Amino acid sequence: MMISIGGSIGTGLFLASGGAISTAGPGGALLAYAAIGIMVYFLMTSLGEMAAYMPVSGSFSTYAGRFVDPALGYALGWNYWFNWAVTIAAELSAAGLIMKFWFPDTPSLPWSVLFLAIMLLFNYLSVKGFGEAEYWFALIKVVTVVLFIGVGLLMIFGILGGQPVGFTHFTEGDAPFHGGFMAMLGVFMAAGFSFQGTELLGVAAGESENPRVNIPKAIRQVFWRILLFYILAIFVIGMLISYTNPVLINGDVDNIAVSPFTIVFENAGLAFAASVMNAIILTSVLSAGNSGMYASTRMLWVLAKEGKAPQWLGALNRRGVPVTSLLATAAVGMLAFFTSLFGDGVVYIWLLNLSGMCGFLAWLGIAVSHYRFRKAYRLQGFRINDLPFKARWYPFGPIFAFALCLFVMIGQGYSAVTGDAIDWKALLSSYIGLPLFAAFYFGYKLKHKTRLIPLKDCQLVDPENK
């Protein structure tokens, strides 16, 4: 549960939520995050049904290879590994910038190297060490959001911070839907990136204790977590801070003081709000990097185990940790980090855009895999009631998630074509992940002559764990 929470709460909520409200107004941001939240809920129930039935570290890469096409599993696996390896680099860069809040005269590089070593240590010790670290990282974020919502509601009714605010900011100007549909479409993209990481639950299922019981428990909490942590938090921010307030646009790791969370806590009269939020955002960044290292390492190990990556990456130490895959992932993450230090970070920005698209592709893979899994399960004579966890709303859930996810992906480059002239550079960087995914998919397909697996031939019984 806490790994899934840790994957979904991060700088997207603590920092970028203010920009979303500034762009689309409080109502537009709320609607966009709610729609993406519903999509993620359906995706997680789809993944939960497969993960509880067949808990493997390869997660949706393995499912796609067994229920759809081995070439799709191959492409999803490599793309997901790359996605998180580059995300590690992004978190290292962010952590270095955050430390400048307390140590403004120190360079970012030593801090980033230190945090990489900490992440590496957590993942190297044992899977229990990773889980323990991630539990406490996630708990800090959960407590922060719950306190924020509680303090915010007290301020709305005037119990804290002076006069009651009420719905003043929801009715001013052209609120609540500032900027119209196109502005809300832009927030869809931001919301989608904010929720990426919830699928970590599926990867962790392969090493969890009693997954047939614990995975359903975690999945059943997903909807309420989304409702509480995102919808309520954005509602509170929209109620307390005007969408016209210029500080909402400036929330990033360079300026923690204008995080919506910091502003609300300071207005409530809480001392040292900026310093406390800076520490919390640092733990959020470390949590995302820690989770990313775990997920990408397991994905690379599974690819090696399935013969889709070099065999030496499949080695395990005596504690069951895939050390060679871990070191290879850390090396790529560090290499990507160094690209942010040279050439004005141009290569790095392209890598980040590439990894962002990979996250949406993973979600599409989950929806397609679940749709075919359930059809194959029934066709091969298995009883739906025997599943450890059943996704509600099938087949509507995976179909809706697939359609909305595809819509968000297609609309990702809309800003590049809405100006006076098409910004070809921005357009290409938005969609650069698609040709890479196609190269993996068709390259494997042509080499191994794979085809869509007939439903009657889908492998529903794990040969290693009958």
State the DSSP string of 350-369. HHHHHHHHHHHHHHHHHHHH
Q: Please report the DSSP string for 393-411 in residue order.
A: TTTHHHHHHHHHHHHHHHG
- Rounded to an integer, the average pLDDT of 149-158 is 88
d(CA 388, CA 385): 8
| Residue 133: predicted pLDDT | 84
**pLDDT tens digits, one per residue of 121-143:** 988 888 888 888 888 888 888 88
| Residue 397's CATH number | 1.20.1740.10
The secondary structure of residue 103, as a DSSP letter, is: -
User: How far are the Cα atoms of 191, 295, 326, 444 from residue 59, in angstroms, in the given order?
Assistant: 23, 10, 18, 19
pLDDT band at 466 (very low <50, low <70, confident <90, very high): very low
Residue 10 belongs to what domain range?
2-449
CB atoms within 10 A of CB 56: 24
- Rounded to an integer, the average pLDDT of 146-154 is 89
pLDDT band at 441 (very low <50, low <70, confident <90, very high): very high
Residue with the larger pLDDT of the pair 42 and 267: 42
CB-based burial, 371-381: b 16+ in 10 Å, e otherwise: bbbbebbeeee
> Average pLDDT of the chain?
83
Residue with the larger pLDDT of the pair 39 and 189: 39
The answer to whether residue 410 scores a pLDDT higher than 80 is yes
| Residue 456: predicted pLDDT | 92
| Residue 323: predicted pLDDT | 92
Q: Answer whether 177's CB lies under 8 Å from 24's CB.
A: yes
Asked, for residue 139, whether it belongs to a domain, the answer is: yes
d(CA 401, CA 366): 9
Tokens of 300: 């690379």
Q: Answer whether 74's CB lies under 8 Å from 441's CB.
A: yes
Asked, for residue 466, whether it belongs to a domain, the answer is: no
**In 100-179, where does DSSP find H-type helix?**
108-125, 127-156, 168-171
Which secondary-structure segment (H or E) carries 33?
Answer: helix 16-53
Q: What's the maximum distance between 2 C-alpha atoms anywhere in the chain?
A: 69
Of all residues in the chain, the percent with pLDDT exceeding 90 is 22
CB atoms within 10 A of CB 320: 10
Asked, for residue 458, whether it belongs to a domain, the answer is: no
Nearest to 198 by CA among 333, 38, 74: 38
**pLDDT tens digits, one per residue of 347-387:** 666 766 667 778 889 999 999 999 999 999 999 999 999 99
Number of domains in the chain: 1
Asked, for residue 374, whether it belongs to a domain, the answer is: yes
Sign (positive or negative) of CA dihedral 370, 376, 382, 385: positive
Tokens of 364: 């599409």
Asked, for residue 463, whether it belongs to a domain, the answer is: no
Asked, for residue 141, whether it belongs to a domain, the answer is: yes
pTM to 2 decimal places: 0.87
Asked, for residue 407, whether it belongs to a domain, the answer is: yes
Of all residues in the chain, the percent with pLDDT exceeding 70 is 91
Rg value, the chain, Cα: 22
The answer to whether residue 206 scores a pLDDT higher than 90 is no
Q: Answer whether 66's CB lies under 8 Å from 458's CB.
A: yes
d(CA 228, CA 231): 6
Q: Which are the contacts of 461, defined by CB distance < 8 A and separation ≥ 6?
A: none
Tokens of 5: 């929470």
**pLDDT tens digits, one per residue of 74-111:** 999 998 898 888 888 878 877 877 787 788 888 878 88
Asked, for residue 464, whether it belongs to a domain, the answer is: no
Residue with the larger pLDDT of the pair 165 and 345: 165
Q: C-alpha angle 392/393/398, rounded to 5°?
A: 105
**pLDDT tens digits, one per residue of 22-68:** 888 888 888 988 888 889 889 989 998 999 898 887 788 899 999 99
| Residue 369: predicted pLDDT | 95
d(CA 441, CA 74): 7
Residue with the larger pLDDT of the pair 279 and 443: 443
